[in-house]
């Protein structure tokens, strides 16, 4: 069976897009082959290759032809097709159309009656024809974060201009054309090391053929080569190793076709610059790996990954060293220049730095963040937490000032970090410096949170200010659109509250933040969604907390629902309630109670829908049956206990109290009919159930708990 | 077309009419020119070995780009003495965008042994107008290339010329004073009030011209008079727009533009650039019609 090879030769594809595009192309080709019955469904997919200049897919043993299909065509009714047992003109015409002899017509009966039919064989089309016809559509549909036009008349868009296409099936060139490029058997070698064309004679030899022209087409193989080369280069300096960096590795794998590594050296004097700055320059700007000594301290070396086979004369090393020296000199220059204006004097300069075009400058943001963090700090203090108000305020005041520094203008990813480093260098306390340093954290799900409470408060206030401001403008995220990364910021807020165990209510935090926006007269006309913001924010934060509990803490979704239905505003509290619910959940009493609560919820809903009314509290003496009297008195006692346990945050104990009601609830539902004719009796019983629902849903809404029976439905 | 540098201040070779205007419309065009590029905020008083207020670009426009544009580019490096076999060259994603010009493109920064030597852009839009055909724009940073070729750490140490007796004149000898004095001017001395006034004067004249062109178009619709269109000074309006852009950069370096003003001023200059681009394209089409008739 034949092998299929497709290679799309392209001008350099952005490194960040290559992996996704390679996988998508392989998937699209596999799907196409299966859809068109050209490969078995059981087939283990395709092998795929990629370099900056090519995406390739190899599928072995596909069908060269679609299998033929037998198809039954239904014609006119038998009574029209035959007259006196002889075929009529209508039958003749049908047979001709179906391409068979009249004698081979069949009869079929369906609910409408008897008809004539013809079984015909539909010839399978060739793989070559199908692939050549369908592939251009698949290529047009490939997702690119950013694509471009290049041909006059703008017929298609692709990530970069397509320059050649290899399309081979069973050693034959496919009649395939895309973007004005006709498929051929000729690929291209490495741009510099082996420029020019190379004929691929057999699809299965693709990998080997390209290797002979200095192209390693398999990205995992390039990764291995790079790792080994990094190891080898680092070994030339005794006692050092290269600093592992998965993201950077992935980038350099996708920037090279034939990777090599050189070790370079820089002047030891630069080690006086903070490590953060040095590593950022090396990693983010030059894509170099940092080298460290056995204690993990930065060594005056770097490793550059090249797209060539070596550096015999040392000119590449020399060039890279020169560039890094210039970069470090810049950083040094910026560092020194920045010290001339201390952070305290930079606060005023924030008036000229835009926070958001409608929300004004970072100066006004700073003022809001100071006030918000002070409010939050007071709140924590009242709750007995150790927190320094002056540290919080000083850190909030200076947090954004590094945006005016040359170093941050040059290395934006170091915002916050630079502020922290400068604060320390300029004699601020370590606590203030750390809080500034950390206040953008966590920047991702794997990033750490601010180390201190003060850092956490500045971070929370900064993020809440951004999120609330955007919501007030009506710029909340929708679907996959979240240009201001508000979800990430809100996730950060939730994580900080959870992991620092801060009982600050998100609704209050948002209300305080929105109040600060409301107090700014110049923003009055711009905050069009200010009134709707509290509700939208509540839903948004509930969603973020829900995400955190399920995805990060791996709490069962029904427990999360139950807990958040009771209250979703206090993050650590929601977590302790969830923990208590999860612990008691497997017990039979609890499951039974959950089922009972579902029943209560249904009864009350139906009663409400049919217009029944009941008082707020039930009247104990008016309960008539023994079962309801017992339950009534138990409920009153339990409600008191649950409330006091809840106040002490002894959620486990409170839940056991509720679970212990089970026998009384069961007996009640066994013996007592709620929806009786007598209006007074009925209303009193409904009031009893409503009281239970109200008093026992403050920790979690048990009706949300999926009991096994319900789960089975 | 080998062109001379444009003699109005620009922040980049892209803003010279040989790029900004020539990339518009259907006509094929190829040009190369040097362009001193002034960026007031980048000035460093001549103290930083790698940064300049005014640097020199070699700007190349290929419209439409030939299929082997990358190979041609690499050969241009060999032509100035870079043996690519001995170096490491990479094309790394770098897209370019200029909100003031309503222009953007897709491309790379070309890295030679870790040094960015060229910005390689496939222009997609200019003056708010979708380009068809597109152009390839190659912007070579000449100071960087020269420092690389001469293997010096500071731009100021580049040997500009060497006399027969072996004595040499450096980049610093030629330009250091200019870097220092214009940094002082842009950061400290430029009269903010006057710069604002200049900006307003240039803007209003540019706008008046664009309005004039629109009025002429309207009149022409009633009684065709193509020659009036052909001689209309759209190019003059463009010079005025460039003046505005440079004044904006000076005010920006001076720290004179507040946050609230900033967005607005950029939008004003963009409106001029977009207006000029539209008028230019329209004028080209009118000229083509006239030539055909």
pLDDT at residue number B258: 74
Distance from CA of A356 to the nearest CA of B (A): 9
Look at B113 and A320 and tell me if their CB atoms are within 8 Å: yes
Which candidate, A163, A178, A91, places its Cα nearest to that of A133? A178
Q: What is the number of residues in chain A?
A: 713
Q: What is the mean pLDDT of residues A667-673?
A: 91
Give, in order, the Cα–Cα distances in Å from A649 to each of A63, A190, A579.
67, 67, 12
Distance from CA of B117 to the nearest CA of A (A): 11
Look at B106 and A160 and tell me if their CB atoms are within 8 Å: yes
Nearest by CB: B87 against A288, A316, A324: A316
Q: What is the DSSP string of A123-140?
A: PPPBHHHHHHHHHHHHHH
Instruction: Tell me the Ramachandran region of residue B81: left when phi exceeds 0, alpha when psi lies from -120 to 50, beta otherwise.
Output: left
Using one digit for the tens of pLDDT, what is the confidence trace for A111-136? 888 999 998 888 899 999 999 999 99
The rounded mean pLDDT for chain A is: 93
Report domain A576-712's class: mainly alpha
Pair of tokens at residue A426: 């300029």
Q: What H or E segment, with its residue span, contains residue A487?
A: helix A486-499
Per the CB < 8 A criterion, the answer to whether A405 and A338 are in contact is yes
Distance from CA of B210 to the nearest CA of A (A): 28
Q: Which of B83, B86, B88 to mutate to test the interface with A (most CBs of A within 10 A)?
A: B88
pLDDT at A45 over 90: no
Task: Give exposure, B99-130, as e/b (b: 16+ Cβ within 10 Å).
Answer: ebbbbebbbbbbbbbbbbbbbbbbbbbbbebe
pLDDT at residue number A710: 43
Q: What H or E segment, with its residue span, contains residue A47?
A: strand A47-51
pLDDT at A479 over 60: yes
Which candidate, B185, B161, B184, places its Cα nearest to that of B173? B161
Q: What H or E segment, with its residue span, contains residue A16?
A: helix A15-35
pLDDT at residue number B292: 84
Structural domains of chain B, count:
2
Q: Are residues B144 and B231 in the same domain?
A: no
Nearest by CB: A354 against B115, B124, B262: B262
Strand duo A86-87 + A288-293: pairing = unpaired
Using one digit for the tens of pLDDT, what is the confidence trace for B139-196? 999 999 999 999 999 999 999 999 999 999 999 999 999 999 999 999 999 999 999 9
Q: What is the mean pLDDT of residues A153-173?
A: 95
Look at B132 and A14 and tell me if their CB atoms are within 8 Å: no
ipTM above 0.90, yes or no: yes
Q: Are residues B58 and B152 in the same domain?
A: yes
Q: Which of A13, A21, A146, A149 to mutate to test the interface with B (most CBs of B within 10 A)?
A: A149
Using one digit for the tens of pLDDT, what is the confidence trace for A243-271? 999 999 999 999 999 999 999 999 999 99
CA angle B166, B168, B172 (to 5 degrees): 165
Structural domain of residue B35, as residue ranges?
Answer: 2-186
**Closest alpha carbon within chain B to A288:** B114
Could you tell me the pLDDT band of residue A708, with boundaries at 50, 70 and 90? low
Helix axes A533-547, A557-566, angle to 10 degrees: 150
Query: Domain with B137 in it: what CATH number?
Result: 3.30.930.10
Q: Provide the H-helix boundaries in chain B.
A: 17-20, 69-79, 142-150, 171-184, 192-222, 226-230, 234-253, 259-292
Nearest by CB: A255 against B90, B260, B262: B90
Look at A15 and B47 and tell me if their CB atoms are within 8 Å: no
Query: Domain with B216 in it: what CATH number?
Result: 1.20.58.180
Give, in order, the Cα–Cα distances in Å from A528 to each of A278, A463, A468, B136.
44, 20, 13, 43
Q: Are residues B170 and B260 in the same domain?
A: no
Q: Which of A322, A328, A404, A409 to mutate to test the interface with B (most CBs of B within 10 A)?
A: A322
Look at B49 and A316 and tell me if their CB atoms are within 8 Å: no
Who wins on pLDDT, B30 or A104?
B30
Look at A146 and B95 and tell me if their CB atoms are within 8 Å: yes
Give, in order, the Cα–Cα distances in Å from A17 to each of A147, A207, A254.
11, 21, 9
Report domain A4-65+126-211's class: alpha beta
**Closest alpha carbon within chain A to B104:** A148
Per the CB < 8 A criterion, the answer to whether B143 and B56 are in contact is yes
Query: How many CA atoms lie less than 13 Å away from A244 in the CB half-sphere?
Result: 1
Q: Which residues of B touch A312 (CB under 8 A)?
A: 86
**Closest alpha carbon within chain B to A314:** B86
Which segment of A182-196, A223-237, A652-666 scores lowest on mean pLDDT? A652-666
Percent of chain A whose pLDDT exceeds 90: 75
Q: Which residues of A touch B124 (CB under 8 A)?
A: 148-149
Give, in order, the Cα–Cα distances in Å from B14 to each of B24, B31, B32, B95.
12, 12, 11, 14
Nearest by CB: A14 against B93, B130, B259: B93
Q: CA–CA separation, A486 vs A475, rounded Å?
A: 10
Distance from CA of A207 to the nearest CA of B (A): 22
Domain boundary among B186, B204, B222: B186
pLDDT at residue number A43: 60
Could you tell me the pLDDT band of residue A41, with boundaries at 50, 70 and 90? low
Q: What is the mean pLDDT of residues A314-322?
A: 96
Give the residue numbers in B contacting A (CB under 8 Å), as ranges. Answer: 44, 47-51, 64-65, 67, 70, 74, 84-93, 95, 106, 108, 112-115, 122, 124, 130, 132-134, 148, 151, 153, 255, 257-260, 262-263
Q: What is the mean pLDDT of residues A478-489?
A: 87
- CATH fold match for the domains A4-65+126-211 and A576-712: no
pLDDT at residue number A85: 82
Quick one: A239 exposed, middle or buried, by C-beta within 10 A (0-12, 13-18, 19+)? exposed
Nearest by CB: B114 against A192, A308, A320: A320
Distance from CA of B241 to the nearest CA of A (A): 24
pLDDT at A703 over 90: no
Give the three-state DSSP class for B125. strand
Q: Are residues B143 and B250 in the same domain?
A: no
pLDDT at B226 over 80: no
The maximal CA–CA distance of chain A, rounded, in angstroms, is 112
Using one digit for the tens of pLDDT, what is the confidence trace for A428-456? 999 999 999 999 999 988 899 999 999 99
Nearest by CB: A150 against B93, B115, B134: B134
Look at A357 and B91 and tell me if their CB atoms are within 8 Å: no
Look at B113 and A307 and tell me if their CB atoms are within 8 Å: no
First to last CA, chain A: 48
Q: Which of B259, B260, B264 to mutate to test the interface with A (most CBs of A within 10 A)?
A: B259
Per the CB < 8 A criterion, the answer to whether A354 and A345 are in contact is no
Who wins on pLDDT, A533 or A711?
A533
Question: What does the domain layout of chain A look like in residue ranges?
Answer: 4-65+126-211, 69-122, 219-338, 358-396+443-554, 576-712
pLDDT at residue number A31: 93
Q: What is the mean pLDDT of residues B264-275?
A: 94
Who wins on pLDDT, A48 or B290?
A48
Q: Which residues of A touch B86 (CB under 8 A)?
A: 312-313, 315-316
Q: CA–CA separation, A159 vs A550, rounded Å?
A: 37
Distance from CA of A656 to the nearest CA of B (A): 59
Distance from CA of B19 to the nearest CA of A (A): 17
What lies within 8 Å, CB to CB, of A122 at 6+ separation is A68, A69, A70, A71
**Closest alpha carbon within chain B to A286:** B114
Domain boundary among B186, B218, B233: B186
Between A and B, how many CB-CB pairs are < 8 A? 118
Residue with tokens 């969830």: A578
Q: Are residues B120 and B21 in the same domain?
A: yes
Q: Are residues B37 and B160 in the same domain?
A: yes
Domain boundary among B186, B206, B237: B186
Which segment of A159-173, A242-256, A674-688 scores lowest on mean pLDDT? A674-688
Look at A326 and B48 and tell me if their CB atoms are within 8 Å: no
Look at A316 and B86 and tell me if their CB atoms are within 8 Å: yes
**Closest alpha carbon within chain B to A327:** B50
Q: What H or E segment, with its residue span, contains residue A688?
A: helix A679-696
Give the three-state DSSP class for B112. strand
Task: Give exposure, B149-168, as e/b (b: 16+ Cβ within 10 Å).
Answer: eeebeebbebeeeeeeeeee
Q: CA–CA separation, B72 vs A228, rounded Å?
A: 35
Q: Are residues B119 and B244 in the same domain?
A: no
Could you tell me the pLDDT band of residue A712, with boundaries at 50, 70 and 90? very low
Q: Are residues B98 and B21 in the same domain?
A: yes
Give, in order, the Cα–Cα distances in Å from B63 to each of A684, B46, B59, B111, B124.
86, 37, 13, 24, 12
Q: Are residues B21 and B144 in the same domain?
A: yes
Q: Are residues B12 and B150 in the same domain?
A: yes
Give, in order, the Cα–Cα distances in Å from A515 to each of A465, A469, A534.
11, 11, 11
Q: What is the DSSP string of A219-279?
A: HHHHHHHHHHHHHHHHHTSTTEEEPP-HHHHHHHHTT-SS-EEEEEE--GGGGGS-HHHHH
**Closest alpha carbon within chain B to A324:** B114
Look at A326 and B95 and tell me if their CB atoms are within 8 Å: no
Q: Are residues B84 and B211 in the same domain?
A: no
Instruction: Tell me the Ramachandran region of residue B253: left when phi exceeds 0, alpha when psi lies from -120 to 50, beta otherwise.
Output: alpha
Could you tell me the pLDDT band of residue A42, with boundaries at 50, 70 and 90? low
Q: CA–CA separation, A244 vs A396, rounded Å?
A: 34
**Closest alpha carbon within chain A to B68:** A163
Distance from CA of A19 to the nearest CA of B (A): 15
pLDDT at A711 over 50: no
Q: Are residues B45 and B133 in the same domain?
A: yes
Q: CA–CA separation, A498 vs A322, rounded Å?
A: 47
Which candidate, A701, A691, A569, places its Cα nearest to that of A634? A691
């Amino acid at each position: 069976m034949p092998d299929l090879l497709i290679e799309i030769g392209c001008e350099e594809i952005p490194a960040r897009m290559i992996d996704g595009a390679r996988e998508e192309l392989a998937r699209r080709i596999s799907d196409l082959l299966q859809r068109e019955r050209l490969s078995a469904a059981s087939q283990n997919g395709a092998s795929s290759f990629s370099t900056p200049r090519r995406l390739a897919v190899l599928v072995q043993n596909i069908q060269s032809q679609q299998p033929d299909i037998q198809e039954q065509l239904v014609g006119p009714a038998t009574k029209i097709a035959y007259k006196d047992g002889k075929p009529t003109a209508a039958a003749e015409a049908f047979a001709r159309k179906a391409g068979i002899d009249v004698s081979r017509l069949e009869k079929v009966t369906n609910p409408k009656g008897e008809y004539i039919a013809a079984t015909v064989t539909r010839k399978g089309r060739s793989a070559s024809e199908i692939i050549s016809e369908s592939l251009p559509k698949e290529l047009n549909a490939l997702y690119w974060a950013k694509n471009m036009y290049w041909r006059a008349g703008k017929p298609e868009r692709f990530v970069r201009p397509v320059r050649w296409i290899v399309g081979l099936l069973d050693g034959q060139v496919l009649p395939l054309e895309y973007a004005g490029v006709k498929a051929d058997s000729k690929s291209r070698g490495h741009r510099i090391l082996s420029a020019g064309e190379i004929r691929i004679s057999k699809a299965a030899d693709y990998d080997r053929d390209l290797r002979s022209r200095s192209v390693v087409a398999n990205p995992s193989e390039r990764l291995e080569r790079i790792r080994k080369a990094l190891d080898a280069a680092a070994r030339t300096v005794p006692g050092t190793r290269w600093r592992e960096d998965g993201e950077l590795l992935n980038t350099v794998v996708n920037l090279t076709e034939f990777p090599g590594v050189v070790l370079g050296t820089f002047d030891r004097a630069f080690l006086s610059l903070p490590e953060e700055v040095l590593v950022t320059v090396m990693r983010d700007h030059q894509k170099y790996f940092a080298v460290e000594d056995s204690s993990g301290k930065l060594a005056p070396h770097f490793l550059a990954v090249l797209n060539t086979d070596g550096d015999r004369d040392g000119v590449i090393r020399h060039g890279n060293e020169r560039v890094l020296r210039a970069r470090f000199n810049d950083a040094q220059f910026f560092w020194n220049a920045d010290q001339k204006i201390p952070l305290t004097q930079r606060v005023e300069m924030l008036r000229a730095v835009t926070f958001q075009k409608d929300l004004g400058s970072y100066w006004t943001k700073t003022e809001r963040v100071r006030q918000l963090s002070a409010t939050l700090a007071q709140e924590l203090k009242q709750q007995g937490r150790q927190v320094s108000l002056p540290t919080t305020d000083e850190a909030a005041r200076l947090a954004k000032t590094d945006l005016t520094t040359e170093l941050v203008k040059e290395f934006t990813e170091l915002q916050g970090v630079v502020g922290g480093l400068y604060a320390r260098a300029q004699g601020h306390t370590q606590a203030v410096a750390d809080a500034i340093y950390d206040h953008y954290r966590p920047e991702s799900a794997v990033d750490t949170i601010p180390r201190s409470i003060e850092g956490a408060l500045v971070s929370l206030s900064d993020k809440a200010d951004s999120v609330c401001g955007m919501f007030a403008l009506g710029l909340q995220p929708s679907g996959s659109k979240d240009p201001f990364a508000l979800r990430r910021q809100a996730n950060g807020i939730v994580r900080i509250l959870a992991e620092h165990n801060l009982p600050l209510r998100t609704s209050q935090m948002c209300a305080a933040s929105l109040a600060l926006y409301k107090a700014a007269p110049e923003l009055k006309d711009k905050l069009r969604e200010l009134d709707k913001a509290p509700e939208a924010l509540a839903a948004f934060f509930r969603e973020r907390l829900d995400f955190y509990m399920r995805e990060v803490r791996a709490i069962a979704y029904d427990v999360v629902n139950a807990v958040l239905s009771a209250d979703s505003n206090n993050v650590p509290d929601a977590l302790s309630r969830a923990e208590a619910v999860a612990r008691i959940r497997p017990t039979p009493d609890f499951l039974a109670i959950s089922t009972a609560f579902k029943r209560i919820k249904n009864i009350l809903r139906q009663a409400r829908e049919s217009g029944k009314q009941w008082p707020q509290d039930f009247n104990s003496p008016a309960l008539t049956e023994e079962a309801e009297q017992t339950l009534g008195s138990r409920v009153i006692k339990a409600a008191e206990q649950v409330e006091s346990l809840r106040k002490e945050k002894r959620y486990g104990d409170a839940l056991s109290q509720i679970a212990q009601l089970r026998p009384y609830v069961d007996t009640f539902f066994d013996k007592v009919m709620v929806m009786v004719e007598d209006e007074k009796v009925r209303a009193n019983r409904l009031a009893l159930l409503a009281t239970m629902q109200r008093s026992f849903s403050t920790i979690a809404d048990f009706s949300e708990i999926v009991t096994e029976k319900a789960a089975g439905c | 077309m080998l062109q001379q540098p444009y003699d109005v201040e620009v922040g980049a070779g892209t803003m010279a009419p040989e790029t900004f205007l020539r990339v518009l419309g259907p006509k094929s065009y190829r040009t190369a020119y040097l362009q001193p590029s002034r960026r007031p905020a980048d000035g460093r008083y001549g103290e930083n070995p790698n940064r300049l207020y005014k640097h020199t670009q070699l700007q190349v426009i290929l419209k439409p780009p030939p299929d082997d544009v990358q190979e041609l580019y690499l050969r241009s490096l060999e032509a100035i003495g870079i043996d690519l076999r001995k170096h490491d060259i990479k094309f790394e994603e770098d897209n370019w965008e200029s909100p003031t010009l309503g222009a953007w493109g897709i491309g790379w920064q070309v890295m030679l042994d870790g040094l960015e030597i060229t910005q390689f852009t496939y222009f997609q839009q200019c003056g708010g107008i979708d380009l068809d055909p597109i152009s390839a724009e190659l912007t070579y940073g000449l100071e960087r290339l020269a420092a690389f070729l001469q293997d010096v750490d500071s731009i100021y140490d580049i040997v500009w010329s060497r006399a027969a007796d072996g004595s040499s004149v450096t980049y610093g000898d030629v330009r250091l004073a200019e870097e220092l004095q214009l940094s002082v001017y842009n950061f400290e001395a430029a009269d903010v009030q006057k710069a604002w006034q200049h900006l307003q004067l240039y803007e209003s004249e540019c706008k008046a011209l664009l309005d004039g062109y629109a009025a002429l178009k309207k009149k022409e619709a009633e009684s065709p008079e193509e020659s009036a269109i052909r001689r209309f000074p759209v190019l003059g309006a463009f010079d005025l727009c460039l003046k505005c852009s440079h004044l904006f950069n000076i005010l920006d370096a001076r720290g004179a533009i507040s946050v609230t003003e900033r967005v607005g001023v950029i939008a004003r200059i963009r409106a001029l650039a977009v207006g000029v681009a539209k008028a230019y394209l329209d004028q080209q089409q009118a000229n083509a019609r006239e030539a055909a008739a």
